[in-house]
Amino acid sequence: MTRDGLFACIDAGAGAVVAKSVNESAAARRQLDIADYAFVSPGGAVRPPGAARLGDGLLNRSGLAQVDLDEWLAVLSDGVAHGAPRGCPVIGSITLGEPSAAARIGRAMATVVPAVELNIGAPHGREAHAVRQLTEVDAVGEAVRTVRDAVDVPLFVKLPGQASDVVALARAARSAGADAVGLVGRYPGFLPDLDGGAVLGSWGAWSAPGCLPMSLYWVSKTRLALGPGVPLIGTNGARTADDVLRFLASGASAVEVVTALWIEGPGVIAELVAGLEGLDLAEFVGSALAGAREYAEVPPVRPPAWLPYTARLRSSGR
């Protein structure tokens, strides 16, 4: 969200940096004033500030960058200039409000950045009217087409994870002109604190290592449906190098990481990149799909996997 933050991620060795989103809404910027973050242990305890661990879940409220567009374009331009000699592109991002306004912002961004992300999967769109989360095919197609017509650089479209058919949304985004598809945004969340209230005192957005298989479900299904020619960007659940590898094996060509940076700082990027050393990406991306079968194709398990559980229940008298 700041020039220094962009520089820190570039210098840490990121392959690319997606800057904080903006949109046309003053209300979306004001929402940053109520931003709050709770890191939750696997056992459900909220960590004290500064004590978060990579295995924690994150429940939060957030808002958009509190800057005018011209000022933000200057920050992006400085980021692009800093990243270019290091081989690290800086990508501008728009969280959808109104498609026509997103097109106007995207047109301006395209004058300073090499690519634009259109985020139509913001989980806060279910709580804050200043941003929108699109879960219907026609709405996705219309929004992407509107922004695509205004942007003359590559357009990445980030989709929600909570929709009846994310693959259909990806197909609609691609048909409307998306160059790459991001899968998936964080999930809406709510967590009682068991003292008569709720963590953060509100609903929020949730991400955790446990979200990883859910994100990989949509990455893998989209890879199979759209084929290897459509670049997919995996997100939501990657904290470690092994997590990054699982996204790639599921069909993602790139992986976005943010929570790990909040917990351990930009230096964690170097650890993630080191975990990919020596990897033949052309062979590895999507490699897990060769061994994955539809349910109807799975042969009977011998002995049936449920037998040990039945025996355990019988021995306990249940």
- Measured between alpha carbons, how far is 17 from 92 in angstroms, rounded to an integer? 9
* Three-state secondary structure of the chain: CCHHHHHHHHHCCCCCEECCCECCCHHHHHHHHHCEEEEECCCCCECCCCCCCCCCEEEEECCCCCCCHHHHHHHHHHHHHHHHHHCCCEEEEEECCCHHHHHHHHHHHCCCCCCEEEECECHHHHCCCCCCECCCHHHHHHHHHHHHCCCCCCEEEEECCCCCCHHHHHHHHHHCCCCEEEECCCEEECCECCCCCEHHHCCEEEECHHHHHHHHHHHHHHHHHHCCCCCEEECCCCCCHHHHHHHHHHCCCEECCCHHHHHHCCCHHHHHHHCCCCCCHHHHCCHHHHHCCCHHHCCCCCCCCCHHHHHHHHHCCC
Closest-CA residue to 116 (of 86, 89, 88): 89
Q: Is the pTM of this model over 0.85?
A: yes
Q: Which CATH number fits domain 3-315: 3.40.630.30, 3.30.360.10, 3.20.20.70, 3.40.50.2300?
A: 3.20.20.70
Q: Provide the b/e sequence for 256-278 (b: ≥16 CB within 10 Å).
A: bbbbbbebeebebbeebeeeeee
What one-letter code names the amino acid at 68?
Answer: D
* Side-by-side strand order, sheet with 36-40: 36-40, 57-61, 204-207, 187-189
**Domain ranges for the chain:** 3-315
- Measured between alpha carbons, how far is 220 from 303 in angstroms, rounded to an integer? 29
Residue the block writes with tokens 């590898």: 245
What one-letter code names the amino acid at 249?
Answer: A
- Angle formed by the axes of helices 69-83 and 3-11, to 10°? 20
Phi first, then psi: what are they for 71, rounded to 5°? Answer: -65, -40
- Predicted local confidence at residue 263, as pLDDT: 94
Residue the block writes with tokens 């199979």: 224
Walk along the chain (318 residues) and give the pLDDT tens digit of each residue: 999 999 999 999 999 999 999 988 887 788 888 889 999 999 999 999 899 999 999 999 988 888 899 999 999 999 999 999 999 999 999 998 899 999 999 999 999 999 999 999 988 767 776 788 888 999 999 999 999 999 999 999 999 998 999 999 999 999 999 999 999 999 999 999 988 899 999 999 999 999 999 999 999 999 999 999 999 999 999 999 999 999 999 999 999 999 999 999 999 999 999 999 999 988 999 999 998 999 999 888 877 777 777 776 777 766
- Predicted local confidence at residue 301, as pLDDT: 80
- Predicted local confidence at residue 34, as pLDDT: 87
Residue the block writes with tokens 């992407």: 144
